[in-house]
Amino acid sequence: MTTAPEHPAATGHRSGPYLAADPDDLIRRFVREGDHLHAAATMSRPNALLNAVCRTFAGSRSLTVSTTAVHSSAHALALSGAVRKVITGFVGDTYPSPRPNRLYRELAEGRPFEIEMWSLLSYTQRLMAAALGQPFATTGSRLAETDLRHGKEGSLHLVPHPEDPERTVALLSPLRPRFALFHGVVADSRGNIVACPPLGEGPWAAYAATDGVLASVEAIVDDEVVAAMPDRVVIPAARVLGLCEAPLGAHPQSLRTGRLAGVDGYLDDYDFLTGIVGACKTPETAAAWYEEWVGGVSGHAEYLEKLGGRRRSGLLFPAPPGDSAVAEKTAPPADAPAAPTEQEQLIVLGARAVADLVRERGYDTLLAGIGTSHMSAWLAARLLADDGVQVRVAAELGLQSMEPEPGDVFLFSQRHAERSQMLAGVAETLGGAVAANPRCLGVLSAAEIDPDANINTTLLPDGRWITGSGGANDIASTVDCVVIAVASARRYVPRLAHLTSPGRRVRDVVSQFGRFTRTGAGDAFELTSWLPPVPGRGRTEADLPDGPEAAVRDLTGWDFPDGSTGVSAFLNDEKPVTTEELALLRTMDPEGHYR
């Protein structure tokens, strides 16, 4: 059994944080089997610390880990066998596009660990309640109306609304880990930790943790350096129990530093991320990846040595003058098809629908969900701007009024952060910019969607895991939404395998052959615009439906009222995807990740 000596916090007195030699030293000193560790997430996680956790507790299956999302190198948690339970909102992959990961096919059955799923905002609100010393948090996210309520009898409570007896209020129990793991830009020897926005969940876990914070930073600097920038201290020294240096401690994720104290920022390592996705396709290759990069590595110094100086320097951001790696990608490859693919037609039709809704209803903010939905939101904002209409695009981790960098399709890239007018966190974005804003339009994707627009992004009918809610439930619960999803009988279903996000605020659903609309919740959807579909997903020209009624019949499994074909009597023809729309989309996605 792995144990730790009594640490200074238990004695009631300490002169400063324990300054560890490296992440492994820090974890070995403080963490015990059975502990609840929280991996705090900004635009990244404390990945060097998590790797140390995996090495130290491999095979113990004893730890509880909470973190906003399990993806990329956090798959080591599953591969190490160190974890008994994970509390999160997303389990899968995010780059190059959101998708399930084979490691979690049996997650619903408790393998490779037990899972407790929340939405991103409700998860953050639980941390905030603990940090503020409150017995409960309240939330506007409608978890109780979905299958996310299951297994939360002690954590999710419905009570009568104090002003309206016909309504209820959802109360969430506080989330109190023992230790919060955090990776910052720099810290002083006293333990004050500096970080740069966007801050994701922010510092709430640092205050929520019953014992305190174990932190890694790019560099420990002189006290005077941090004293000169008190406005950048995110976690105060009083909460920090232990501290170590770990350059590139968020790798393979990114870290924005603002060049504070001369520390370089760095980008997500896309090659490394795609390598992880590929490795997880079989148990053998996943185990080999884990042994190469985590289990068989002596510590963070060896990890950096394996990465190599050339790779590390290639991730620096902002890039050195003259670096045009992204600019070179913005031109579509010469072999790109002349006509739109099925997915490109979907994205363009989605963008048109979003732009129409902004004009019709006066939305001022688009909350872009990850996937084809964020590509449509980005494209809609560009098309509206060309017409002199301004709409702001936000992403759930804290990017607001963002102008995406052409050529980089990852929703949470630091390149987009640099081109945003405001950088904040989850609470300010999913709360202030979304839940409190009646002029926000959510733009979402779906793995399954039923005739009432309820959304499933969690479980397939055969029990295989998809990804989870992320912020989708929070968005769908509180603002008007449009859902953008390729139509098929397996996706547009009569009944969901799992209800992840409520559909009452969804007024429009966009498919690859047109837009479904309804006048209000409870009303039936009808196809109100039509563009003949193009070949895709194994379908040739000969397989395509002949007309809108056939498309609705063959490419959806929705039930419609008696006598209805699901097609509006006032059906409008969509114009074909224009050369300009396609060129703009391919400038955004030159490598064809969404093609």
Residue 446 has a pLDDT of 98
Chain-centroid distance of CA 153 in Å reads: 26
Element (H, E) at 554: helix 548-555
State pLDDT tens for residues 307-355: 999 999 999 998 654 444 555 566 666 677 789 999 999 999 999 999 9
Q: With a cut of 70, list the residues of the chain below it in pLDDT.
A: 1-14, 319-334
Token output for 330: 């913005």
Cβ burial of 167 (10 Å; 0-12, 13-18, 19+) is exposed
Domain formed by 8-134+174-307, architecture = 3-Layer(aba) Sandwich (3.40)
> How many other β-carbons are positioned within 10 Å of the β-carbon of residue 586?
22
The answer to whether 430 and 423 are in contact (CB under 8 A) is no
Residues 56 and 37: their CA atoms lie apart, in Å, by 13
CA distances from 184 to 46, 66, 334, 336 (A): 8, 18, 42, 41
**Cα–Cα distances in angstroms (integers) from residue 393 to residues 284, 305, 360, 368, 411, in the given order:** 41, 39, 18, 7, 11
Distance of CA 572 to the CA centre of its chain: 35
State pTM to two decimals: 0.94
The yes-or-no answer to whether 8-134+174-307 and 342-588 have a common fold is yes
User: What is the pLDDT, as a whole number, of residue 11?
Assistant: 44
Q: Tell me: cis bond preceding 451? Omega within 30 of 0 counts.
A: no
Residue 225's closest CA among 252, 187, 273?
Answer: 187
Alpha-carbon span 185 to 263, nearest angstrom: 7
Rounded CA-CA distance 283/75 in Å is 12
**Angle between helix 342-361 and helix 372-386 axes, rounded to 10 deg:** 50
What pLDDT is stored for residue 322 in this prediction? 45
User: In this predicted structure, what is the pLDDT of residue 324?
Assistant: 46
| Res 543: pLDDT | 77
Give the model's pLDDT for residue 334: 65
CATH no. for 342-588 = 3.40.1080.10
In 5-81, alpha helices (H): 8-11, 23-30, 47-57, 76-80
Is 295 strand, coil or helix?
helix
Residue among 177, 242, 249, 172 nearest 207 (CA): 177
SS3 state of residue 496: coil
Residue 542's pLDDT is what?
75
Stretch (H or E) spanning 399: strand 399-402
**Domain boundary assignment for the chain:** 8-134+174-307, 342-588
Query: Who's near 232: CB < 8 A, 6+ residues apart?
Result: 185, 194, 195, 196, 226, 260
Rounded distance between C-alpha atoms, residue 446 and residue 509, angstroms: 10
Q: Please classify residue 45 by burial: count the beta carbons closer than 10 Å to its beta carbon, then call 0-12 exposed, 13-18 middle and 19+ buried.
A: buried
pLDDT at res. 429:
97
H or E element: which one contains 235? strand 233-235
| Opening angle at CA 157, ends 154 and 159, nearest 5 | 150
- Number of residues assigned to the chain: 595
